[in-house]
Structure 1
Amino acid sequence: MDYKPLTYENEFQEMKNYFENRDFADAVMCLKSRLEDINLVPLNIAVTGESGSGKSTFINVIRGVNDEEEGSAKTGVVHTTAVPTPYVHPHHRNVRYWDLPGIGSPEFKPKDYLRLVNFDRYDFFLIITTERFREFHVLLAQAIESTGKKFYFLRSKIDAVLTGHRRGKTKGYDDREILKEIREDCVNGLRAGGVGNPRVFLVSCLEPDKYDFHLIHETLEEELPSHKRHVFLLSQPNFFLRTLSRKRKSFLKQIWRWAIVSAMNVTTGPWSGATGVVAAPSLSANGDLTLMVNVLEEYKKAFGLDPRSLRLLADTFGKDVEDLRSVIRTSAASQDITQELLFHHIKSQGLTDMGRMVTACVNQFVPQITVLASGGVAFGTTFWILSSFLANMAEDAARVLSRALEAGE
């Protein structure tokens, strides 16, 4: 591996800014606390609409859950949600999508509805319909707005709408123009009803890689409070290359923080704690190596490289899971991540020397790091391992997605 310090200059500068004018020990403990808490931030998303509008199917797709999988939201036009029902994300248990009772009955009263579903619980609302938005959608949006919460409109089953428009037309047909007309019709209807600046997304749960699914992800990520963006981003399904890129950038910002926490866990003397592994100076089995295993497992799941996610991606796009798995090149993505795997990788690649080089570079920005990192090995090795595996896993995920999206013969 060729080490290119300038690649991470922005991250090192961020370290410098963080530690300037702070007590170093207190700043480090604050970092550790933030890293431990970041994936525990609760995120509650309300999904509402008429019965049969596709709420449950949408909840399953955006969580990355098969309709027939245990824990999936029940689908079907005859299903009616009587009370708010939470569905947790399979990898991020603090992220919940709530299937709310259907709206649209003659006696529907938006303010009473919000009180009954406990509107304070939710970070934002998604209002779904299969047809044009009607008066009760507008009234609900206005009631939500009066509480200070944000809301977004989703026109679902857009693939069926396009199929209907295509029927009987052999020329002069353009999907983009039809989609533009549908979106404008939705927006104009909502504005006429009194919604000032409606955000409307056209989606298909049968074709999640098309239409506005990516715009939903990006819009919600941008408009969430900063402390909730990371967990929302990581919980999103990997249907778009831009999603993979944003996940990589979000993880990259955390690496120097994890490296400092790793350095705090250094023990002197022989490395122990994993059967059959020889001593490795300045590396702790119960500290930094355990930390790296946990962080790499998070990368693996976030990029959809774990067995469950690969099977779901294969099912979603009608591919063979072994074909998707065949393009994975990173060892940590293709097998179980263990301390032994990391140790042998460090030893075979000479990464302790690489770690010293990383720490020497970082020391130009934050001189205290050398002392904390016990000669540079723990901090630099952790930084380099996480950086290199992150890059490799992101590239693997892009190859897997590209293979999944390939048109069949």
Structure 2
Amino acid sequence: METQDPDVIEAVKLSGESTLEKATAKAKAEFEQLLNVSLNIAVTGRTGAGKSSFVNALRGLGDDADGAALTGVTETTMKATMYEHPAMPNVKVWDLPGIGSPNFKANKYLKDVKFSTYDFFIILSSERFQQNDIMLAKEIKNAKKKFYFVRSKIDNDILAEQRKKEFDEQKTLSKIREDCQKNLKEVGNPKIFLISVYDLEKYDFEKLQNSLEEELPQHKRSALLQAWPVCSAESLEKKITFFKRVIWAAALASAGIAVVPVPGLSAACDAGIVLLFFTRCYYAFGLDDGSIKKLSEKVNKPLQKYLGKSKIAAAIQNKTLTRLQVSASIATLATFEWFASLFPGVGSVAAAGLSFGTTLYLLREGLNELANTAREIRKEAGLDPMCSNS
């Protein structure tokens, strides 16, 4: 191998390639895919099922937040409306017109809403699933796309049942699930996910995520994992593990840039990679203003102050990451990397190794800092009392 730098050797091994050049090319491709792979989620159902609130929940937004899908007691979605994820423009959630017209034809509906656009469909209902829902599911199935039945507003059902003397929450949930399954026999034995958009920690929101992950193509899973709201300690840890796995790609992409003999290019690109990586972690871990505000209101505790314990989280929040010592430390290496990259062979390898090792260290330390901040916030919120840093 062209270099004796142990970190670079290990990263090349992790890439599954035989040379630094091939490993770097693969790293760049994987990092680009991490940032840009598209995911289009279609949410449909009857008028009043809570589609717009569900769209907002998937995007980590409250119904009254800037950019949220409009909600109301009447039909607010008259055509297919696309909403980008606040931090990931490559992830789009589509709020489709409600199903409920007496003249409804599933095949025509799919054509009208541009069926081929979407990776999968979520069919939402706040009551029993109706014949139109079943017809639509059959058409989606015939077109060989995935669909998922989501029974919404479960919190309302539980609240209503609590007034009864013999109330048992688990029995109530089982009854709702069985009732839905009975009237969906025509489409086989589909899974039913019971959800409250105002309490994603409860019921089946995480089960829905797990099913989507299992059934999506491999290259789409990274987008889902980054964009899906944190709904449990397990959900957060899964995200942390994911970002740990892609650190090598970000660091090797930096190493590849370092061998280009253009003054200042390496430092600028390294800083950009670090910024993109940390920003994705920040939103994926639920550290953004919208997520923290929603969580604070839910548990009636001021949680914003805990962001200040992470310099990186605070810098992203205040849009001042480039002023962090992290970026300054990269900049001090720029001159050395540039001169080293001018010399073929050993010089280029030295530049690559230096850039890789620096970026690898920064990414690891920064990821751990953001992860521990997210864990602490959930612990303070009373969501994960046994959560410990790792």
CA distance in 1: counterparts of 2:260 and 2:33, whole angstroms: 28
Match of 1:178 among 172, 175, 178: 172
CA distance in 1: counterparts of 2:370 and 2:25, whole angstroms: 29
Match of 2:15 among 1, 18, 22: 18
Shift of 1:370: 10
Contact 2:40/2:119 (8 A) holds in 1: yes
After superposing the two structures, state which structure 1 stretch, 310-319 or 123-132, moved more.
310-319
Matched residue, 2:196: 204
After superposition, the Cα gap between the structure-2 partners of 1:268 and 1:63, relative to the gap in structure 1 and judged at 3 Å, is closer
Alignment of 1:58-207 (within 5 A): 58-169=54-165, 172-191=166-185, 194-207=186-199
Matched residue, 1:306: 288
1:392 aligns with 2:369: yes
Secondary structure of the structure 2 residue equivalent to 1:152:
strand
What amino acid is aligned across from residue 205 of structure 2 in structure 1? F
Matched residue, 1:357: none
Could you list the per-position Cα deviations for residues 163-219 of structure 1 after superposition, in whole angstroms to 9, with x for gaps in the alignment? 1112131xx53212221221122123212xx11131210001122221111111221
CA distance in 1: counterparts of 2:368 and 2:347, whole angstroms: 25
Could you list the per-position Cα deviations for residues 352-380 of structure 1 after superposition, in whole angstroms to 9, with x for gaps in the alignment? 9xxxxxxxxxxxxxxx9996353843212
Matched residue, 1:337: 321
Contact 1:50/1:128 (8 A) holds in 2: yes
Matched residue, 1:290: 272
**Structure 2 residues without counterparts, runs of 5 or longer:** 1-5, 334-344, 385-390
* TM-score normalised by L of structure 1: 0.80
Contact 2:75/2:98 (8 A) holds in 1: no
CA distance in 2: counterparts of 1:397 and 1:326, whole angstroms: 9
Secondary structure of the structure 2 residue equivalent to 1:374:
helix
After superposition, the Cα gap between the structure-2 partners of 1:12 and 1:304, relative to the gap in structure 1 and judged at 3 Å, is farther
After superposition, the Cα gap between the structure-2 partners of 1:12 and 1:129, relative to the gap in structure 1 and judged at 3 Å, is farther
Alignment of 1:374-393 (within 5 A): 374=351, 376-393=353-370
What amino acid is aligned across from residue 217 of structure 1 in structure 2? Q
Matched residue, 1:403: 380
Secondary structure of the structure 1 residue equivalent to 2:244:
helix
Shift of 1:267: 7.0
After superposition, the Cα gap between the structure-2 partners of 1:377 and 1:126, relative to the gap in structure 1 and judged at 3 Å, is same
Contact 2:247/2:364 (8 A) holds in 1: yes
Contact 2:310/2:373 (8 A) holds in 1: yes
CA distance in 2: counterparts of 1:345 and 1:403, whole angstroms: 33
What amino acid is aligned across from residue 215 of structure 2 in structure 1? E
After superposition, the Cα gap between the structure-2 partners of 1:369 and 1:218, relative to the gap in structure 1 and judged at 3 Å, is farther
Match of 2:28 among 15, 18, 32: 32
Could you list the per-position Cα deviations for residues 88-135 of structure 1 after superposition, in whole angstroms to 9, with x for gaps in the alignment? 111111211111111122211111111111111111100011111122
CA distance in 2: counterparts of 1:72 and 1:235, whole angstroms: 16
Could you list the per-position Cα deviations for residues 201-240 of structure 1 after superposition, in whole angstroms to 9, with x for gaps in the alignment? 0001122221111111221122111111111111111232
CA distance in 1: counterparts of 2:101 and 2:115, whole angstroms: 19
After superposition, the Cα gap between the structure-2 partners of 1:371 and 1:16, relative to the gap in structure 1 and judged at 3 Å, is farther
What amino acid is aligned across from residue 98 of structure 1 in structure 2? W
* TM-score normalised by L of structure 2: 0.84
Shift of 1:14: 7.3
Q: Determine what percentage of the aligned residue pairs are the same residue.
A: 38
Secondary structure of the structure 1 residue equivalent to 2:363:
helix
Secondary structure of the structure 1 residue equivalent to 2:309:
coil
What amino acid is aligned across from residue 403 of structure 1 in structure 2? E
What amino acid is aligned across from residue 304 of structure 1 in structure 2? G
1:326 aligns with 2:306: yes
Contact 2:281/2:367 (8 A) holds in 1: yes
What amino acid is aligned across from residue 99 of structure 1 in structure 2? D
Alignment of 1:354-369 (within 5 A): none
Shift of 1:142: 0.8
After superposition, the Cα gap between the structure-2 partners of 1:12 and 1:219, relative to the gap in structure 1 and judged at 3 Å, is farther
After superposition, the Cα gap between the structure-2 partners of 1:328 and 1:190, relative to the gap in structure 1 and judged at 3 Å, is farther
Shift of 1:317: 4.1
Secondary structure of the structure 2 residue equivalent to 1:127:
strand
Matched residue, 1:235: 227
After superposition, the Cα gap between the structure-2 partners of 1:312 and 1:379, relative to the gap in structure 1 and judged at 3 Å, is same
Larger RCO (CA under 8 A, 6+ residues apart)? 2
Query: What CA RMSD, in Å, does the superposition of the two structures yield over aligned residues?
Result: 3.1
